[in-house]
Structure 1
Amino acid sequence: MTWTITASLDEFRAAAGEYLAAHPAENTALLTIADRLERNGLNAFGAQPPRFGWWRPRPDAPVDGVFLQTPPYPPRLGRTPVGAGAALADALHARGEALAAVSGGKAAALAFAERWQRLTGAEPAVRTDERLYRLDGLTPPSPAPEGRFRLARSADRELLIEWLTAFVAEAGVMEPDLDAAAIVDQRIAERSWHVWESAGRPVSFAGASPVIAGMSRIGPVYTPPEHRRNGYAGAVVAGASAHAVAEGAGEVLLYTDLANPTSNSVYQKLGYRPVEDCIVLDLN
């Protein structure tokens, strides 16, 4: 079993691009991160250079596993067999890497963490347990809440900066040196963020990533506490999902926190169906 690890995005895409595109659901995070690195440069997520890897069961075999890392974020496994997850732990340990966490599909990430524990003594601990969903025919909320769906615009900028900061804090997402203003500006410019508006004011927002390899992923989704339990999140996600389909997405995906039964129920009612469970594991 062979992992190839590189700092070159071009090499990664040349070797693993077909594999990434062939499995856009399981590789959704890697596809969007690689796209962001292409758009914004290799330092888009931090000062340290990213690294990329692909796995072959034999040197002459097709690619059958992928990961990338954009420090300070942990390695993210895409569609990867369990044995390759363990082998990646061996490969990174042999390079002298010090890792605080790992994320990806549950089976492969657990295999990585178990091997890392044997190699280093680190005790894996679950940080987040997620489920990846795929849209299987959109069923908008009926009746829809009062209001309307629209693209986010520059007049929403300050409110969306506030909401993004609140979302990150509430979700417990690791966002070192978050530049909320830059993120909001970019998402508004690329027409990838949406709001539900009630009584002339935004009350909820959702992102829909640009279509890559026929795939778009919904997120983040946030409704401030004072506007919750009115159906706004379901309505804005339905609108963002329809927008992604209209933009050419054959696969529309989203992640939910398994600790939040409300969001899991809402998205299933909209027509989302489970693909796989994913996990973020701290390696303390």
Structure 2
Amino acid sequence: MTADAHSPVVEGRGIVQDYAVPGSLFARAGKVRALNGIDFAVEKGKTLAIVGESGSGKSTLARIIALIDAPSSGELRIDDHPVDIARKRPSPALRSKVQMVFQNPYGSLNPRQKIGNVLMEPLVINTDMPASERRDRAEAMIKKVGLQPEHFNRYPHMFSGGQRQRIAIARALMLNPSLLVLDEPVSALDLSVQAQVLNLLADLQEEFELTYVFVSHDLSVVRYIADDVMVISKGEAVEQGSREALFADPQHPYTRALFAATPITDVAAIRARVARRQAARQG
């Protein structure tokens, strides 16, 4: 059974994450609660943005949704199937449904591998696809994210930060996932490059009917890309709602303080300018 247009692609109920704190000469061993009973759901083709200050728990939640870490307790469901990663490794089929794009495009690519091999590696590990088909798919994906065919045989150090993030996005799409978890994917990029990558993500979401969980501290980016927003503070979801409702009338004091402390740039306007320039070049 797969998710229809109105059922959640990914859903969490009561997600808790505790980390053990070792004892010392002056303190007993204990634990730190990074997440405390988080609930969320994301429908097919939609984007849930998770926002909060550094250390709020948003990246911890992203790693749980991406099946990298197991929660201490709670329930995670993907396409309405329960995921029990605490007791067993997720199946290759489940792994292929969920992929993650990390913040740092410099650290997420193997510097010793050519880009073509970086893209083909998920297919080598997870499928029995013939080598010729792997190459064809990698070459097609390079074009899909706005790079050139000759980039196939180049190394990561030969690319800019924005190009490397495009490569990371291409790699995440190689297994045809239904869900992308994006952890601060544009925060390391210049503003104009951010707009280009956001433009790419919006186009890919529409073309492939992708569902996004988008972690960010940048409210300008969130205001542009999100359908729904969850605000996390000290491991708890203090407010959730549609983007329009949250930005128009935030209810929780923490949300209001977060919004008041963060200048909001019109990313949509920047994206429109970038799109016009690209269209002019192509024309």
Normalized against structure 2, the TM-score is what? 0.31
Normalized against structure 1, the TM-score is what? 0.31
